[in-house]
Amino acid sequence: MTLPKTMRCIEIAAPGGPEVLRLGERALPAPGAGEVLVKVAAAGVNRADTSQRKGNYPVPPGAPDILGMEVSGTVAALGAGVTQWKVGEEVCALVAGGGYAEYCAAPAANCMRIPGGVSLVDGAALPETFMTVWSNVWDRAQLGPGESVLIQGGSSGIGVTAIQMAKALGHTVYATAGSADKCAACEKLGADRAINYKTEDFVAVVKELTGGKGVNVALDMVAGSYVQRELECLALDGRLVLIATLGGASGPVNFSDLMRRRLTVTGSSLRPRPVAFKAAIADNLTARIWPLIESGRIKVVVHRSFPLAQAAEAHRLMESSQHIGKILLTP
């Protein structure tokens, strides 16, 4: 495969609103040892990208300054020591950055085959959300057989993924969303009950639905004042796992109640974790979740794809929260 010397990519002119995103040109990245070079078919747009654009999300050491934490595409070149992939194979990959471009270097161990029935472009909707949900709901919160889960932001990329994964693995699933249409979408995807947080008290609804017991696990991307309310939703020995702080990085917590009911509050950020840590998650997904996608029990939900040059419009849509599912960029 003959490779160009340069590529188009999205650059940040200066920290700010979506308008600071601009189309630029960079030298083609060279895959390092243990990496592959991916000719990008699509890149996923995530909340972390909008935060980084504003200057609020430091880039991990060694990561490119180009936005984009997940891609799908074709392997274009192999770095030293890579034996598990061949040039021409189609993959999706979790990367530390660099996805908003025509080419992106990715750790070979963090690449995954695209499940059967999923298009090459839609494959970009898989890595970040599926790996985040698995890592937090199953690895950290240890959602177990017969347990129930509350998913905040059920219509987001994370939300539609978490709802489907939990339902397909046999759990009772409750989700929150901000409109009747979004609630209907959550229930269509498998939520046993979607709660409109603008018109309903999700604490009261969860208590009613569970006969006063509460849920075993709650997945939250809001934090702030939501934390105490979510603790009130938890059953004895319940676990709350935080993955973002859209509602603020601090909030009041009743620690006496936390101790009395043996509750656990945990959280994580996937981006700075080592390649080997992410590789273990990728192995679990391909073994346990990819077959559920291939059988049709879990669907890849893409709200809209934008051309790479319209990255600013993609960010505006992300920040409007009017989408249901993933937003993609296609070079």
Give me the pLDDT at residue 128, please.
97
CATH number for 6-126+271-330 (one of 3.20.20.70, 3.60.20.40, 3.90.180.10, 3.40.50.300): it is 3.90.180.10
Please list the ranges in the chain whose pLDDT falls under 70: 1
Structural domain boundaries in the chain:
6-126+271-330, 130-267
Q: How many CB atoms are closer than 10 A to CB 232?
A: 17
Give me the pLDDT at residue 34, please.
98
Give me the pLDDT at residue 62, please.
87
Give me the pLDDT at residue 175, please.
98
DSSP-derived pairing of the beta strands 326-330 and 215-220: unpaired
Give me the pLDDT at residue 166, please.
98
In whole angstroms, give the CA distance from residue 245 to residue 78. Answer: 37
In whole angstroms, give the CA distance from residue 196 to residue 179. Answer: 6
CATH number for 130-267 (one of 3.50.30.30, 3.40.50.720, 3.40.190.10, 3.30.1490.20): it is 3.40.50.720
pTM of the model: 0.95
The residue assigned the tokens 């890592």 is: 135
Give me the pLDDT at residue 303, please.
97
Give me the pLDDT at residue 103, please.
98
